Every structure is written in structure tokens, then in C-alpha cells.
Amino acid sequence: MTSPVQLIRPRRFGDARGWFTEVYNRDTFAAMGIETVFVQDNHSLSAPVHTLRGLHFQTPPRGQDKLVRCVRGRIFDVAVDVRRGSPTYGQWVGAELSAENGHQLFVPIGFAHGFLTLEPDCEVSYKCSDTYAPDHDGGIRWDDPALKAVDGEAGGIAWPMPAGVEPELSAKDRVQPLLVDFDSPFAYDGRPLAPLA
């Protein structure tokens, strides 16, 4: 059984001109257990280093699977299990995605998603399985101390920021609820979160 959140490392084919890669191929993804149909592509620019966007999701029936990649700079990308009844509820996994490594993170419905920029002028592109629905927009606090690593202790997400540095946040992300105050509408599908392979 595969973990619901997956780190994907597309192969690059290079020569003297540069390289080519397949970002998404329906058949390849289906072989990995990802049968999502994507209907919207988003692209963001975060100018200041240590910009933090998250932790976000859309609630049912407008939930979104996401396929996230960084096309300029570097980010630390995170997914938090918010599926009611999950044995890994409140646990997170994270990975560095960069323009250089080309890695992608698949974040399914039932997970809060966020990222921290590690360089100035980061651009992030991600595919979604549903269009934006503001009435279903939700989130939890980026710095909730109750969150714990999937293979570690509680104490919050280990965002890679220097001590004493505060991230750049939107007004919305400053006031998201804590996990303890969140009544999850997401159901557990029988697949616990696992460390990223």
C-alpha cells in the first residue's frame, strides 16, 4: 500500500542543449496509484525569502488533489494529515522542491498543504483536481505546536528558518485555526501517512 502523499522524482533527459522531462503522464501516474484528473493549473511568485503560504485545503465536495513543483528557486513543501479517524491525524511530511532537483509532491484531498520559500523570487506551479471554490477554502495554523512529524515527536512543523526569523505571511494565514479547533470534514480512506520514500 502506497502512502497517500508521494514524492515524485521525474527523470530528466539531458544533452548539450539542456534537458527535457515529463511533468505529468496519466499512465505513469496511474501506475503509481495516482488516478487524479487535473482541471486547473496555478502558478505563484513569492518575492521575499521565507515567505510561507499555508496550511491550506478545500473542503468537500470541492476538495483538491495537488501536484506541486517549484519552477524557480527552492521551497520546503509540506503536507499535514487532516483526515478524521486517521491514525496519522495531525502528522506531517515535507520535502525540498527546487527548480534544480525537479521533484514534485503529490498532496491528496484530506491533507493541508503549505510551503516556505528558501530563496528570494520563488515560483511554484501546481495542478489541482478541482477549481478554486472560495466557499470551501480552509486551513490550519502553520505554527501549530500539536503537529508532529510522521516519524517523530510533536512540536510543530520543522520549517527550515533561521532562529528568530518570522516568515512573511498573508493576513489570512496569521489567523487560521489550530488543529484542536478544527472539525475535519475529511474521511480516512484506510491509507496512513508514511515517510516520503
Amino acid at the residue 53: R
Distance CA 171, CA 169 (A): 6
The residues annotated with a catalytic role in the active site are: 56, 126
- Residue 106 makes CB contacts below 8 A (sequence gap 6+) with 5, 6, 7, 8, 34, 65, 66, 67, 68
Rg over CA atoms, the chain: 16
Q: What is the 3-state secondary structure (H, E, C) of 77-129?
A: EEEEECCECCCCCCEEEEEEEECCCCCEEEECCCEEEEEEECCCCEEEEEEEC
